[in-house]
Amino acid sequence: TSVLEIKNLHVEIDGKEILKGVDLTIKQGEIHAVMGPNGTGKSTLAQAIMGHPRYEVTKGEVLLDGEDVLEMEVDERAQAGLFLGMQYPSEISGVTNSDFLRSAINAQREEGDEIKLMQFIKKLDKNMEFLEMDLDMSTRYLNEGFSGGEKKRNEILQLMMLEPKFGILDEIDSGLDIDALKVVSKGINELRGDDFGSLIITHYQRLLNYITPDYVHVMMKGRVVKSGGKELAERLEAEGYDWIKEELGIED
Ligand code: ADP
Ligand code: MG
Ligand code: MG
């Protein structure tokens, strides 16, 4: 079982401290939801873990099975088994979705151990069918002219094709209608198991009606201020965030 540990993580953007000491430990087999009001640093957490150059880690650690993730280049993080939704350029002209997926899979494999074309196509067809995607999505250029819902579905397709150790999904549910939300959730639930851990970042509780998290964390002002089980998300849905602010004496 792999473990992703985030320890006392401090992150700055343009010299401004956004994350002020985040601690989280995610094991494979677990789904963690991170919730919180807008602007509290949820996306910053995801970007910092994946190594976006704009996000400067000033203190703390990110460890994957004890290995220092922060020392790794972005592509090395992916090779080590971390996946961040939307980590790829939104549109790459001249590269089909299928070509892109195949090279992404091969980038994770040793030279000489590339996935066989037939095996790749079988897996792609199976997963696209599962996600109720039009088969012509595979021959379209990556993200070119994809609708919002198609992009999110495609992100889940990437996840199912790449089978990372950990998937970090930021706002995978925003802008989705209920049908697309159900399909996206179906994909994540399909991946769920001993070999997959996930950090699902969401502003809304509704995604968690379809994906039952093992743990729920609330972020405010750059810190995880409260953690619990799925009942925490249910309380947030019913009562919002004010009670947490009151409980912890957080000022607006
Ligand atoms: P969340 O995902 O929780 O809504 P973000 O991580 O996107 O929060 O943003 C946290 C804070 O960092 C906000 O105050 C936001 O204004 C600021 N911020 C985010 N991205 C940038 C950026 N590229 N440059 C400057 N400030 C930013
Ligand atoms: Mg935001
Ligand atoms: Mg965000």
Domain contains 152: no
- Is the predicted pLDDT of residue 200 greater than 60, yes or no? yes
- Report CA(79)–ligand 3 centroid distance (Å): 24
The residue behind tokens 């009670």 is 243
Q: Is any atom of ligand 1 closer than 6 Å to the C-beta of 208?
A: no
42 in Cβ contact with 219 (< 8 Å): yes
In the 8-state DSSP scheme, what is residue 48?
A: H
56 or 140, greater pLDDT: 56
Domain contains 145: no
Rounded to two decimals, the pTM is 0.93
Element (DSSP H or E) covering residue 143: none
Structure tokens at 215: 């743990």
Interval 4-22: pLDDT, tens: 999 999 999 999 999 999 9
Using DSSP bridges, classify how beta strands 3-13 and 82-84 pair: parallel, antiparallel or unpaired: unpaired
List Cβ neighbours of 210 (8 Å cut-off, separation of 6 or more): 181, 182, 185, 186, 189
Q: Which atom of ligand 1 is nearest to the CA of 41?
A: 6
CATH assignment at residue 52: 3.40.50.300
Interval 71-123: pLDDT, tens: 999 889 988 999 987 655 466 677 888 998 998 899 888 889 999 999 999 99
Nearest one of 67, 65, 63, 83 to 75, comparing CA atoms: 83
147 or 207, greater pLDDT: 207
Distance CA 199, CA 6 (A): 12
The parent domain of residue 74 ranges over 3-91+165-248
The reported pLDDT for the residue numbered 203 is 81
Domain contains 60: yes
Written as one letter, the residue type at 169 is L
Domain contains 49: yes
- Report CA(161)–ligand 2 centroid distance (Å): 28
Number of domains the chain is built from: 1
